[in-house]
Amino acid sequence: MDISSLALISITVLFVFLDGLNDSANLVSTVVSSRALSPQKAVLLAAGGELLGACFLGSAVAQTIGKEMVLVSGPAHAAYPILWAALSAISAAFLWGVVSWRLGLPCSSTHSLLGGWVGAFLALAGWSMIQWHKVASVFLIILVSPLVGFSVSWLLMKGIQKSIQGLPLKLGKVVRVLESIWLGILSLAHGANDGQKSMAVLVAGLMLGGRHDAYSIPLWVRLTCSLAISLGVLVGSSRTIRTLGFSLYKVQSIHSLCSQSVSGMLILLSTLLGFPLSTGQVVSSSIMGVGAGVQPRAVRWDVALEIGMNWILTLPLSAGLAYFMLKLALLFLRP
């Protein structure tokens, strides 16, 4: 295995780890804020769900990114630059993730990775290799998902708001148990969705670069990415937990359950259908939807706006960075 392949594998593992590090807060913030679980128990449960989800919940999302968003067939002489296109895409996503992590802001790994993926192939072959109809459908799902998360959470919270007044202690304990169950489901779905994104870039890069025979996810790739994202969740990010759990809305148990259930179902459904989603978008919009359903003035809309601006910047910046990196690399690769 040559240096370029090893570099692609190494940076992919680092990106998956950083993804888990950032999204640890997205997964456990409401459960921790509602006091249903301690931060340590919540992170352990989430890490276990991530590991199982990435290992066992299929490869539909990977197929969408690796085979359907770009034309994976091409002339043999283009194989080596294509491997570098994958390397540029994952490197751009990783670098932007590091910047966001250092600033203590939620970072959408989906936006950074897809932006890098599109930007790299634009640099490689212009518009011809990109399946724009598929890219448009994926981006539409990503755009609509926060609105769906907000709306469904708002409707659900409105529907149960009156019924939770005077909630008995025993029923309150049941709600906290359900919070833990939904945290497990959300973690499974997240591990499958986000883990497959990175697996797709790695496998597509190796396959198109002539280092892998067919588009299928080898066991070693699945295990490596699963362990990396699970370890990232274990490390966690306390600053981002505070931002999501307390700045967006002061969450109680019933609010947490509502947000977790809506987020978990949306991400699980998207994963099974093969659409990549931003867990941060879905979870944050669900928290705001719950807060708006209870008391709109209690929602920190200014913090939500700051997070939204970060998402808006992520896609074009990661695409531009990947484009620049590959163009620079091609100066040395082409005779």
Sign of the four-CA dihedral 144, 45, 254, 159: positive
Query: What residue type is 252 in one-letter code?
Result: Q
Mean pLDDT of 68-85: 65
Residue 110 sits at φ, ψ, to 5 deg, of -65, -50
Give the pLDDT confidence of 125-134 residue by residue, as tens digits: 788 778 888 8
Whole-angstrom Cα distance, residue 328 to residue 320? 12
Confidence of residue 111 (pLDDT cuts 50, 70, 90): confident
Give the pLDDT confidence of 223-245 residue by residue, as tens digits: 999 999 999 988 875 555 555 54
- For every residue of 247-284, DSSP letters joined together read IS----HHHHHHHHHHHHHHHHHHHHHT----HHHHHH
Answer for the pair 270, 145: CB distance below 8 angstroms, yes or no: yes
Lowest mean pLDDT among 50-54, 209-213, 286-290: 209-213
Q: Report DSSP state, residue 212.
A: S
Sign of the four-CA dihedral 32, 35, 36, 41: positive
Assigned token pair, 122? 């634009």
CA atoms within 13 A on the CB side of 13: 14
What pLDDT shows up at residue 153?
92
Q: At what angle do helices 3-33 and 109-125 cross, to 10 degrees?
A: 150
Instruction: Report the predicted TM-score, pTM, of the whole model to 2 decimal places.
Output: 0.85
Answer for the pair 31, 24: CB distance below 8 angstroms, yes or no: no
Most confident region among 49-58, 171-180, 288-297 by mean pLDDT: 49-58
**Arithmetic mean of pLDDT over the chain:** 81
Q: Residues 16, 20, 23, CA angle at the centre, nearest 5°?
A: 130
Number of domains in the chain: 1
Burial of 29 from C-beta contacts in 10 A (0-12 / 13-18 / 19+): buried
Mean pLDDT of 30-44: 81
Whole-angstrom Cα distance, residue 56 to residue 182? 18
Domain ranges, residue 146: 3-333
Mean pLDDT of 265-273: 93
Q: Which residues of 151-186 are buried (b: 16+ CB within 10 A; e: fewer)?
A: ebbbebbeeeeeebeeeeeeeeeebbebbbebbbbb
